[in-house]
Structure 1
Amino acid sequence: MDSLQDDAARVEALAGLSRFRREFYGCLTLRADALFELADAVLCGGGPVVSLPELSLQAVHRRGHGAMYDALTQGHINASRLRMSLAGLELPRGTDGQLSIALDVTPWPRPDAECSPGRLHCHRPCRCDGVRQTIPGWPYQVAAALGGGRSSWTGPLDVVRIGPDDDLTEVTATQVRDLLARLRETGQWREGDPAVLFVLDSGYDIVRLTWLLREEPVRLLGRIRSDRVMHAPAGRRKGPRPGRQPRHGAEFRLADPATHPTPIQESTTVHDRFGQVTARCWSRLHPKLDRRGSWADHQGELPIVEGTLVHLAVEYLPGNRDPKPLWLWHSHPDAAAHDVDRLWRIFLRRFDLEHTFRFFKQTLGLTRPRLRNPEQADRWVWLILAAYTQLRLARCLAEDLRRPWEKPLTPNQLTPGRVRRGYPRIHRTVGTPANAPKATHPGPGRPKGRTSTPAPRHPVGKKQHKKDTPKRSGALQQP
């Protein structure tokens, strides 16, 4: 009976993989055959992708390296259709049916590409002393569905390149709205379902995102700095004289435990990796906003954006016996309606996206090509996302081709790297919708007597343009 169920699952998985491959091929509207075989070459490679010319030597890539570069330069991918195809796949969910989606930015370093436009200063951690530094490059913001339990698998749904003139908060809000519309259209989210949870790391203005997405059925969960100051709801004005009612209540200094009232909820659990974990939460806290930065152009009175604060303290971290506490912000202001233990566990699942980024870069070669134009980089990024999705759909079809020093894994525990080892066998079974190359002859090459002018240089743009802040009333003004 189990063998029949396994065979049925394999047939269903093979059919799903074939459908996605045909749909992906339909999304390639120009230079489709060359782009599709380039993605297959990434999947069927024997080791990490080190360069584009090496991919042209794979058996599944039946064209020359010139056709590969021409496809990245002149090809076209219908990104809207591909986004809809990714949203229509089966996505991991929580026990209550809630979708959890992680958002994070990963940089494509291009420090010496002076002829490449669209670069800006991207955050990049320094491995020498742990200090965060910046590097010129192309930042890409990826949205991926998170699963439950320990796993290195995610479900990429969308990717957007951040430009020098883009506001990260506005771009993120637009990306969330568009993604939610696709989830509705594909039936992944319906009225009455739990709100979609978006998990963010530090670096996002989560309070402004909460305000921009206040009309959408979404919840935001993200990390905030431990030196921020929040305020409780304002009470009635004191004193007999009439006047304006206060807008902010008592201060809640995250770094000062003396200002912390009794938490609404508190839970203590024992984690096998972090030891004793204590989580506490307070409801209806808000920051005091001022007209600087992203709120400088806000029309009317500044709003009161309330949320739930979660304080997480662990006994120890791997390699750190004295860890600092973690502060999380949840956009739902009612802390009594939350499962505080579930919230911090969902936030830990956000780090699965870091494993996906590492697999993209170290194995699939996300940042290996030295492309000049950002449009070429966009096509390559979409090819990598489509290739990773095929690996996710082929999980139950792959065999455990482990090395002698590796531990055996069950089919449900296979990592993306091990699935990629067995993908050439799956490729022979599933076939390819790409057409065979036509017979041709070498091109004429560069015309004689013609020289090209130097390529224009492009400066590195800023990530966000800082807006003018209002001057203090007592400050001296230059004549």
Structure 2
Amino acid sequence: MPHPLGVPSSAPDQALRALAEFRTAVYRCFGRWADTLFELVDALAGGGRVGSVAELTFEPVLRRGHGSVYQALEHGQVHPAAAGTLLAGQVRPGRVLLLGVDSSKFPRPDTRYVPDIGMQYAAERDHTGGSPAVPGWSMQWACQVGLDTGPGAASPATGGAGGVGRGSWGLPVDVRRIGTADNANEVTAAQITDVTTRLHAAGTATAGVPLVFLLDARYCPIYLTQHRPDSAQLLVRLRSDRVFFARPPAKRPGTPGRARKHGPRFALDEPDTWPAPDAEHTTTTSAGAGAGGTVRTRAWHHYHPEPRQRRKWTGTDIIEGTLIRQDHTTPAGRTQVWWLWWAGPPGSFDLPMLAEAYQHRYTIEHVFRFAKQDLGWTRHTPLDPDQAERWTWLVALALAQLHLARPLAADRRLPWEQPCHPDRLSPRRVRRVFRHTVAALPTPARAPKPARPGPGRPKGSTNKNPRTRQPVIKKGRPANTGHPKGHNPNATTKPKT
């Protein structure tokens, strides 16, 4: 029989105490408008599907009106360093730490008065025949993935119980915006360095525990390898048309000319150029829709791309890494191929662990979907990129609260839903009972002060401070201002008519 508050009778007091301490620490991460911001986090974590920010005022935990909510989002203060340190301390330790890094668009297509807007990739428009991009901001998340350890969730290569599992849970660790003037690889390298430093400071990342960052093919593996922290490992997906080179043979004494820089050619889409692998691992899938399939993983060490002046990485030195090819074959005979680039500390290469690691990068896509569909991440329409980043931090803190409340939540399924083991509850099911789970916990937010609403703008008056029209920045064009050709507002001479 479930507890009337949605808390199992055997819930440990330690989990409830950890949730209460986390809520107090969240309040300390706020500056101005701290009370409203904290209640916004509570309303996000325990309410229904968010259609707009104003709808959050119907939640009992949010005792302020919609005017205070919008004032807090516009003038409030969230300390990113304090929030990042707090989230890093919540990372669950294990035999391996997997962190997915990926960016998602914060669309703002219906306005031209928002600054620093760029064209962001939109996958939903990729096959419609139109342009697969929309105006908006790019928000990059770093999340711990592989958090599901319930029945049937552990991966065989990571050690059974205590290993990583596949599921929809992801714990946000850091959030930052990639501006139109920023380089995505530079921002990512700085984010990986900051997250690694915070994990070591929190004692989560210890010696002997692999710390693996999982990234998609949009990132430059060479640049990230150059700026990789000493204790971190990188596993980056590669395009299948890339070409690499092995180490050159040693120069014979007395041979004229300089020594060779490149060895035999290795083209990812030309099997004739592949030598025998340096390591190989084969496993059989035992869970999920592809149970009974095989995964063959091969690795080739000490390969590098050809350095050229047009490359985006620093300098033109030879940067070596390990090439990994994974062939996922289903029982029906369908094969999916992944090419990966690995770089890490010497002696830390573990092919069985890496063979199971990259599949968990796709968990961050579940995080984005849950944040957008349930938490209303992109339903808010801020007029400033700082407000968008502030709102993103609130969504990340709300998701972290749900993760901490996971051991305390009971399964309150809808009539058409299947029963679920308590260790396998999805974020949506935990959010369904979060309000009852924290009902007995005190709130650090102060009670609102009663006040009369302001007079507002006098009737019949007009707005005397119109907003400046902002361009949509499109990267890849020299001296681009976002304006049509011949109408550059920064031009010193007028265009010909």
- Length-normalised TM-score, structure 1: 0.88
2:16 to 10, 14, 17: 14
Amino acid in the other structure paired with 2:309: R
Q: Does the 8 Å contact 2:142/2:174 carry over to 1? A: yes
Q: 1:66 to 1:280 in 2, by over 3 A?
A: same
2:175 matched residue in structure 1: 159
Amino acid in the other structure paired with 2:471: P
TM-align CA RMSD? 2.3
Q: CA deviation at 1:241?
A: 3.9
Q: CA deviation at 1:404?
A: 0.9
Is structure 2 residue 298 aligned with structure 1 residue 280?
yes
Is structure 2 residue 123 aligned with structure 1 residue 125?
yes
Is structure 2 residue 461 aligned with structure 1 residue 460?
no
2:67 matched residue in structure 1: 66
Kindly report which structure 2 residues correspond to 1:118-267, keeping only aligned pairs within 5 A, or say none.
118-126=116-124, 129=127, 133-147=132-146, 148-190=164-206, 192-213=207-228, 216-237=230-251, 241-267=255-281
Q: Does the 8 Å contact 1:293/1:466 carry over to 2? A: no
Q: Does the 8 Å contact 1:44/1:424 carry over to 2? A: yes
2:111 matched residue in structure 1: 113
Kindly report which structure 2 residues correspond to 1:429-444, keeping only aligned pairs within 5 A, or say none.
429-444=440-455
1:409 matched residue in structure 2: 420
Cα distance in 1, alignment partners of residues 476 and 198 from structure 2:
28
Cα distance in 1, alignment partners of residues 12 and 128 from structure 2:
45
Amino acid in the other structure paired with 1:264: D
Q: CA deviation at 1:223?
A: 0.5
Cα distance in 1, alignment partners of residues 171 and 128 from structure 2:
29
Amino acid in the other structure paired with 1:251: R
1:310 to 324, 329, 332: 324
Kindly report which structure 2 residues correspond to 1:295-444, keeping only aligned pairs within 5 A, or say none.
295=313, 298-299=314-315, 302-316=316-330, 322-332=334-344, 338-444=349-455
Cα distance in 1, alignment partners of residues 324 and 214 from structure 2:
14
Q: Does the 8 Å contact 1:226/1:327 carry over to 2? A: yes
Q: CA deviation at 1:454?
A: 2.9
Cα distance in 2, alignment partners of residues 127 and 406 from structure 1:
32
Cα distance in 2, alignment partners of residues 464 and 208 from structure 1:
19
Unaligned runs of 5+ in 1: 1-5, 468-479
Look up the SS of the partner of 2:473 in the other structure: coil
Amino acid in the other structure paired with 2:205: W
Number of residue-to-residue matches in the alignment: 449
Cα distance in 2, alignment partners of residues 62 and 263 from structure 1:
62
Q: CA deviation at 1:427?
A: 2.6
- State which drifts further: 165-174 or 122-131: 122-131
- State which drifts further: 421-430 or 339-348: 339-348
2:76 matched residue in structure 1: 75
Q: 1:67 to 1:337 in 2, by over 3 A?
A: closer
1:474 matched residue in structure 2: none
Q: 1:406 to 1:133 in 2, by over 3 A?
A: same
Q: Does the 8 Å contact 2:233/2:345 carry over to 1? A: no
Cα distance in 2, alignment partners of residues 175 and 466 from structure 1:
27
Q: CA deviation at 1:162?
A: 0.3
Q: 1:111 to 1:378 in 2, by over 3 A?
A: same
- Length-normalised TM-score, structure 2: 0.85
- State which drifts further: 122-131 or 203-212: 122-131
Q: Does the 8 Å contact 1:165/1:465 carry over to 2? A: no
Cα distance in 2, alignment partners of residues 115 and 78 from structure 1:
26
Q: CA deviation at 1:278?
A: 1.4
